[in-house]
Structures are given as structure tokens and as C-alpha cells.
Amino acid sequence: MGIGATRLDGKVALVTGATGGIGVEIVRRLADEGASVVITDIDGAPMEDLRSELAEPDRHDVAGLDIADEGAWELTVGRVMERYERLDILVNNGAIGSIGSVVDEDLESYRRVIDISQTGTWLGMKHAGAQIESSGGGSIVNLCSILGTVGGLGNSVAYAAAKGAVRTMTKNAALYWAQRGVRVNSVHPGFIGTEQLKQRYEGTERHAAMLANTPMGRLGTAADVAAAVAFLAGDDALFVTGTELYVDGGWTCA
Ligand SMILES: NC(=O)c1ccc[n+]([C@@H]2O[C@H](COP(=O)([O-])OP(=O)(O)OC[C@H]3O[C@@H](n4cnc5c(N)ncnc54)[C@H](O)[C@@H]3O)[C@@H](O)[C@H]2O)c1
């Protein structure tokens, strides 16, 4: 364990989309740093497997949570408050994307991406944020993307729309809670070489373009992103709110 390894001691964190490529590393990192982690994802995802690999698995919890379903948020947050009597950290990590460009995306797919990746993030802030405030304050970290800010590779229009909204909602919510003890920040990964991404794109032109456009010459790792999330989640970032933390190997400098 590195510097600050126990900086989240005593804190309770809820992570959405927690069994995906980046979510898994966020859960591991927050747990390593001392947090009790509520591992959530859509039903059927291997949440229990992840919990059982953590040290002190009983400290952590799992819950099926479709982030686009407001009733599910109410149930899950209620369950967290019942068990832990507090909530300190929300990591809005769950999201979906689609590849379609501005002309070839279809309406059904567009709406689904917005529903989950954009509205799901707002619902999380609404329901978990209120409990973080009533617990005495804490941190919300919204997983955004370089595509929330720049055009990327000129496709994934729905994802860009959703992440652009996540970026500005983050600042809006940061202002709302600025004097109420809840900090809200966004983390903007560049292209991260998760297993899922490798399976989908390795060997394709798109993968080559991801590498060619990353000044550091490599894709990021899920651990790179998790480290940024852990910083914003904890008290090292007590005066940091409404900011955008890029974990993109320099993509947005160019
Ligand atoms: N991988 C990258 O290169 C990259 C780059 C920039 C931003 N991001 C962002 O990082 C976050 C994690 O990305 P990832 O690469 O781990 O993605 P992933 O596809 O591996 O994981 C996403 C997780 O979200 C879950 N999910 C999907 N629909 C859901 C729903 N309705 N309710 C709850 N959970 C749902 C999935 O089950 C999955 O576990 C996302 O917000 C993504 O947009 C990823």
C-alpha cells in the first residue's frame, strides 16, 4: 500500500457500474484505502465475486442498481443508510456508450445512452448527494470523459452529448452544495486499455487512432483512473470542487 493508504478509513462509498473495467479498480483502490464500499451494478453482474476478493469482504456490500431507475436509487441508498448509517462518497461510474456518428446514430440508441449515462448520473447525485449532505458532507466523483470536452475521434455522438452534460452538471451541483459540505468533481479519462476495450478494438484502425492521438504514446490503465478518483474522494481534496481532472496522457493538451 502506498502513501495515504488509509486516507478513506471510516468512510462509506457507493460505486456504480462497479464490475466494469474501470469500476473494479475503483472499488479495489477505495477499499485498499480504508473505505467500506457498496459495490453496485446492473443485476447479473459479478458483484459478489468482486466483494469476495477484497480484504475484509464483510465490511463491503453489494446491490443490484440500474442507475436509470429512480426507484432503484431510492431502495439502494435507503439500504446503505440502514446498514452503515452514513454515506460519504458516491462514484458515478456506470455508463454505456455507442459508436454512431452525428449522422448514423439512431434515435433509440441515442436515447438509451442519454438515459443511462446522463440521467443516471443526475439521479445518483440527487439521491446519494442528499444522504452525503445529511451525513455531514463528503464527495461525489462523476466519471466523465475527454469526450465530455473535445470531439475525440468524431464519432460516439450520443456518448459525447451525455458526457458533455455530466461535465456541466458536475459544476452546477458543485455550486449547489458548495456551502453544504458536498464536493462534486469530474474525472475525464482518455482511452483506457481495459480488457473490454482491448477485446472490442485491438488491431483495428480505431485502436491505432486512440494510440496515435495520445501524446504519452500509450493507453491509460484503470488503475490510473482509480488513483484520480481516490484523490477526489478523500480529504486531500477538501478545497477542490467543480473541477475537471483529466487522466488522458495529454490528449486534451494537443
Ligand atoms: N474505458 C475508457 O476508455 C473510458 C474512457 C473515458 C471514460 N470512461 C468512463 O469510465 C466509466 C467506466 O468505463 P468502463 O470502461 O469501465 O466501462 P465498462 O463498459 O467496462 O463498464 C461499465 C459498467 O457500467 C455498467 N452499467 C451499464 N448499464 C448500467 C445501468 N443501467 N445501471 C448500472 N450500471 C450499468 C455495466 O454493467 C458495466 O459494469 C464510464 O463512465 C465511462 O464512460 C471510460
Q: For the chain, how many residues are written?
A: 254
CA distance 10 to 34: 7
Q: Which among 15, 42, 66, 163 is the best mutation to test ligand 1's pocket, defined by most ligand atoms within 8 Å of the CB?
A: 42
Distance CA 17, CA 65 (A): 8
Integer Cα distance of 3 and 77 in angstroms: 31
Mean pLDDT of the region 108-133: 98
Asked if residue 22 has its Cβ within 6 Å of ligand 1, the reply is: yes
Cβ contacts of 27-30, under 8 Å, gap ≥ 24 = 27/54, 28/54, 28/226, 29/223, 29/226, 29/227, 29/229, 29/230, 30/89, 30/91, 30/226, 30/229, 30/230, 30/233
The SS3 assignment for 156 reads coil
CA of 200 to the centre of ligand 1 (A): 14
Share of the chain above pLDDT 70, in %: 98
Report H helices in the chain.
Answer: 21-32, 47-53, 70-84, 107-113, 120-134, 157-177, 195-201, 205-212, 222-233
Per residue in 48-62, pLDDT (tens digit) is: 999 999 999 999 999
Q: Is the CB of 181 under 6 A from ligand 1?
A: no
Domain boundaries, given as residue ranges, for the chain: 12-246
pLDDT digits (tens, 9 = 90+) for 5-42: 689 999 999 999 999 999 999 999 999 999 999 999 99
Taking the whole predicted model, whether its pTM rises above 0.85 is answered as: yes
The C-alpha cell that represents 69 in the structure block: 431507475
Q: Is the CB of 21 under 6 A from ligand 1?
A: yes
Q: What is the CATH number of domain 12-246?
A: 3.40.50.720
Is any atom of ligand 1 closer than 6 Å to the C-beta of 66?
Answer: yes
CA distance 36 to 52: 13
